[in-house]
Amino acid sequence: MGTYRQITCKQCGYTVKVKQGPSVHMFGEMMRQKQEILDNRAQYPEAAYYLEHDGKIGCAGVYLCAKCKEFRDLDLIYIMKDYYAHSIDSTEEEAMYPFEKPFCSECGTEMKFIFDLEAENLRCPKCGGEIKAPICLWFD
């Protein structure tokens, strides 16, 4: 299950709709991937470790391409290293184990994972203005 969010900048009018959370189709793929990691821990020691502690597998995240100055969503599988600690005090880099690297579909640059679109310090990539990102649609 997931949501679509409508990101809007009040200052310059930049707007984009992004998807957060897995669809039913991706949920099956995530469970398959998780089992594969746990069955092949020699190959994925770090991922297996997090999954057996406070980690969580996720997908359909929102990313920021610094070069294009755009938010983009991608159906990439990732692992939250510590899902519960994340919201309190940690950076995206510390919190996420990128099972696949998020490359921009337009320019090929590696993008930054955006866990919380409602974080206070998250700014418009175009002008640095304040953005709002309310949920505009639910899907499953």
Q: Applying CB under 5 A, which residues contact Zn ion?
A: 9, 11-12, 14, 65, 67-68, 104, 106-107, 109, 124, 126-127, 129
What's the CA gap between 29 and 71, in Å, rounded? 24
**Beta carbon nearer to Zn ion, 94 or 106:** 106
What is the nearest approach in angstroms of Zn ion to the Cβ of residue 140?
Answer: 29
> Strand, helix or coil at 32?
helix
Q: What is the DSSP letter of 111?
A: P
Q: List beta partners, residue 73.
A: 62
For residues 53 and 67, which CB has a smaller minimum distance to Zn ion in the complex?
67
Which residue, 70 or 92, is less far from Zn ion as judged by CB? 70
Distance from C-alpha of 114 to C-alpha of 91, rounded to nearest angstrom: 10
d(CA 46, CA 40): 11
The minimum distance between CB 61 and Zn ion, in angstroms, equals 16
Give the nearest distance from C-beta 67 to Zn ion in angstroms.
Answer: 5
